[in-house]
Amino acid sequence: MREVFEEGLGPSSLDPEEAARNSARAGQRKRFYTSASVSETPDGFAILLDGKPVRTPSRNPLVAPSQEIAAMIAAEWQAQGDVIDPMTMPMTRLANSVIDGVTGRVEAVVADIARYFETDLLFYRAGHPEALVAREAAQWDPVLFWAAETLGAHFILTQGIVHVRQPDPATAAARAALPSDPWAVGALHVVTTLTGSALLALALMRGRLDADEVWTAAHVNEDWNSEHWGVDEEAAARKAARLSDFRAAAAVLAAQVQPFG
């Protein structure tokens, strides 16, 4: 099976924006198949194009852990027109990154997520205006209260951008809540990097917030600036591209690849 993503997403890439740029550089290729389908195998649910298995850029079988996830991947392939545009296939790009870039090095990816517990978006608050301060508190404080009560992770807040060292027990407690399943870890990593918050990612994974709530919470300051200074069209386009990757990752987490408790 010819690989349309082979130049687009290397095995070490988990950054969805980097993956999108690489995919764009790889260019679009003509559609060479009629139908996309799913087939259950001993290793999971394989994606087939005209009955032939699809492989990742590293030549691993494109196999999902659940039929729900596989169906979403297959739907992306089926929806392609005369040419295949990787930019319109966030679930496939995420699957490639999980299979090629997370499986086999889960601990390294978990460690990368855990680093956000030192500099999480939710810790750094505006000092003014009062309306923005109140909006941040309304969106972010419930997540911090949940982390304290449910995870036993008590974090320190500060104003501005001056780094504040977080208590070791807090970061350890939050890290202990991270999953070990490669698909959950890969999806959580995408949500974390797109939002700047591992706590928001955990809240999504655990069902404390839904995807829309997480996306809104992650863009409190950006939305505030747009409301008061107008919309930056280029920034809005980048945000829309990030949203498609975010929704793909959220869908994987919602599929409950493993029980999270």
Q: Is residue 138 located within the same domain as residue 227?
A: yes
**pTM of the full structure:** 0.89
Cα distance from N-terminal residue to C-terminal residue, the chain: 39
Q: Is residue 141 located within the same domain as residue 222?
A: yes
Q: Is residue 8 part of a domain?
A: no
Count of the separate structural domains present in the chain: 2
C-beta of residue 57 within 8 angstroms of C-beta of residue 72: no
- pLDDT per residue as tens digits for the range 91-136: 999 999 999 999 999 999 999 999 999 999 999 999 999 999 999 9
Mean per-residue pLDDT for 174-189? 96
Q: Is residue 134 located within the same domain as residue 218?
A: yes
State the chain's maximal CA–CA distance in angstroms: 59
Phi, psi of 79 (to 5 degrees): -80, -10
Separation CA 16–CA 75 (nearest Å): 20
Q: 222 or 201, which is more confident?
A: 201
**DSSP secondary structure code for residue 149 in this structure:** I
Q: Is residue 24 located within the same domain as residue 110?
A: no
Q: What domain range includes position 79?
A: 16-84
Q: Is residue 112 located within the same domain as residue 232?
A: yes
Q: Is residue 260 part of a domain?
A: no
Q: Is residue 73 located within the same domain as residue 189?
A: no
Q: Is residue 80 part of a domain?
A: yes
Residue 79 sits in a domain whose CATH number is: 3.30.2180.10
- Where do the H-state alpha helices sit in the chain? 16-26, 67-78, 90-97, 106-114, 116-119, 130-146, 168-176, 182-195, 198-205, 211-218, 220-229, 233-254
Burial letters 86-98, b for 16+ CB under 10 A, else e: beebbbbbbbbbb
- pLDDT per residue as tens digits for the range 46-103: 999 999 999 999 999 999 999 999 999 999 999 999 999 999 999 999 999 999 999 9
Q: Is residue 20 part of a domain?
A: yes
Q: 233 or 170, which is more confident?
A: 170
Q: Is residue 28 located within the same domain as residue 136?
A: no
Phi, psi of 241 (to 5 degrees): -65, -40
Q: Is residue 80 located within the same domain as residue 125?
A: no
Strand 36-41, strand 63-64: pairing: unpaired
Q: Is residue 147 located within the same domain as residue 206?
A: yes
